[in-house]
Amino acid sequence: MSDKILMKGNEALAEAAIRAGCRCFFGYPITPQTQLPEYMAKKMPKIGGTFLQSESEIAAINMVLGASAAGVRAMTSSSSPGISLKAEGISYLAGSDLPAVIVNIQRGGPGLGGIQPSQADYWQATRGLAHGDFRVLSLAPAGIQEAVDLMGTAFDLADKYRMPVMILGDGIIGQMMEPVRLPDPVTELPEKPWAAKGTRGARKHNILNSLYIQPEELERVVRERYERYAEVEKNEVRVETWLAEDADIIVTAYGSTARICRNAIRAARADGIKVGMVRPITLWPFPSAAYAEAAAHAKGFLDVEMSMGQMIDDVRLAIGCSRPVRFFGRTGGVVPTPAEIRAEIDALCKEVL
């Protein structure tokens, strides 16, 4: 563990990835994540790794696929429009059971949208990423230290379950500076007997493939993959609950929005309102149990997002619509303020208390 140093989110993510054993980075510039590839461009050549600026995000994700198939820890990063281009490759990664880490520092959309922070890619990250039956494990840090810690987790989980893992940040996480402690570099990486790095004449050839022309065969492979996803759902849910035990009102948000909510919750508590928070850290698997628990005593939920309301679907599903779920969102790159959220808490209190 390093001493505390001040780092920008994008750069801290890059350094954490290198410390997690990432040796191949492929990417294409896009605001607001560009400092991540720039950091990689500086650092990778010095440590015998690869930084390559690809011709497009499509090429970048397929280079990641190649490097991952070759058994190396590989990643790419981008922002919303670029993630849409990576969708095809992510589906192929999932279909070929290949690990990879993909960072999305979200900006406003749709289309070219804007360049300010957003959380409008939640649906994309948790369900509609690309064609086919598959899942991506999504991690949503709410600060730079957590982003650094989750980067190691992301690579470990990607290898363990042989699946793509996404770090879903936003422009605030990417651009903000905070003091962080960096983990020590990993010294041991998992064996990958399935990798395509040459048979050396010592084994049958390895094939990394997503094509199964017989329907029954494809169904079997997809079902096996879903058994692995069930393990992920059982073992890898990460969530923070805060002041939730006695709460009448639960504010829920992920990523940097959760940080803003904290201020509003403190202010409401100071005024004697029993408010708490549920903050998903894994967006898939979604921490449904934490919501169900909170719903046992809470009278209402306030879901806050930098979008028109996407995670709210999962919140409602988690509590089986047993409590009112109020929504407050700003979108297009507009960041909600603590005062706005505080006002929403008051409005919800009027509704349910």
Partner 1 sequence: MSVVFKKPDALCDVTMHYCPGCTHGIVHRLVAEVIDELGICGKTVGVAPVGCAVFAYNYFECDMIEAAHGRAPAVATGVKRANPANVVFTYQGDGDLAAIGTAETVHAATRGENITVIFINNTIYGMTSGQMAPTSLPGQVTTTSPYGRDPKLAGYPIRVCEMLATLSGTAYCERVSVDCVKNVIQAKKAIKKAFENQIAGKGFSLVEVLSTCPSNWGLTPIEALERLRRDMIPYYPLGVYCDRDAFAEVEAK
Say how far apart CA 181 and CA 5 lie, in whole Å.
7
Identify which range of 28-36, 56-64, 152-160, 275-283 contacts partner 1 by CB under 8 A: 56-64
Sorted by sequence, the CB contacts under 8 Å of residue 70 that are 6+ apart come out as 195, 196, 197
DSSP 3-state assignment of 103?
Answer: strand
| Under rule CB under 8 A, residue 78 binds partner 1 | no
Our CB check for partner 1 shows the closer of 206 and 263 to be 206
Our CB check for partner 1 shows the closer of 64 and 250 to be 64
Identify which range of 35-43, 140-148, 201-209, 227-235 contacts partner 1 by CB under 8 A: 201-209
Q: Please classify residue 199 by burial: count the beta carbons closer than 10 Å to its beta carbon, then call 0-12 exposed, 13-18 middle and 19+ buried.
A: exposed
Identify which range of 58-66, 151-159, 220-228, 244-252 contacts partner 1 by CB under 8 A: 58-66
| Under rule CB under 8 A, residue 41 binds partner 1 | no
Among 28, 39, 92, 328, binds partner 1 (CB under 8 A): 92
Among 127, 131, 197, 220, binds partner 1 (CB under 8 A): 197
Among 193, 201, 215, 272, binds partner 1 (CB under 8 A): 201
Of 122, 272, 195, 249, give the one whose Cα is nearest residue 261: 249
Q: Please classify residue 141 by burial: count the beta carbons closer than 10 Å to its beta carbon, then call 0-12 exposed, 13-18 middle and 19+ buried.
A: buried
Say how far apart CA 65 and CA 10 lie, in whole Å.
22
Say how far apart CA 92 and CA 209 lie, in whole Å.
8
| Under rule CB under 8 A, residue 83 binds partner 1 | no
DSSP 3-state assignment of 6?
Answer: strand
Which pair of tokens denotes residue 261? 């909510």
Q: How far is the CB of 1 from partner 1 (least distance, A)?
A: 29
| Under rule CB under 8 A, residue 29 binds partner 1 | no
Residue with tokens 């500076």: 177
Among 17, 36, 67, 294, binds partner 1 (CB under 8 A): 67
| Under rule CB under 8 A, residue 89 binds partner 1 | yes
Interface with partner 1 (CB under 8 A): 23-24, 26, 50, 52, 54-56, 58-60, 62-72, 74, 88-89, 92, 96, 195-202, 205-211
